[in-house]
Amino acid sequence: MRWQAASVIPVWLIALVGAVVIGVVSPRDEYFTWLGVVAAAAVIATFALQLATRRPEGFVVRAMASIGVSVVILAVATGATLLFG
């Protein structure tokens, strides 16, 4: 179970850090463009980390967990930016 978390949690951190950096640094009219870049980076990082584990069992579950939670993180960040930004 430890290697599963090690291949999923870094993607969540990429999404979280990316959302915070975009929210602070980017202009408001470019926010959604950069949000898509962070989402793409999360997807690419997901597949890179999952392929690096070299374990086929549970691949789909780990990929869904990585991408799914990343999308939720980015959705919450978008909602917070729209409410408070």
Residue whose entry in the numeric block shows the structure tokens 């789909």 = 60
Domain ranges of the chain: 2-84
C-alpha–C-alpha distance, residues 27 and 58, integer Å: 39
Sign for the CA dihedral angle at 25, 29, 31, 33 comes to: negative
Three-state DSSP class for residue 58 = coil
Tens-digit pLDDT string for the chain (85 aa): 566 788 899 999 999 999 999 988 988 888 889 999 999 999 999 999 999 988 888 899 999 999 999 999 999 999 998 888 6
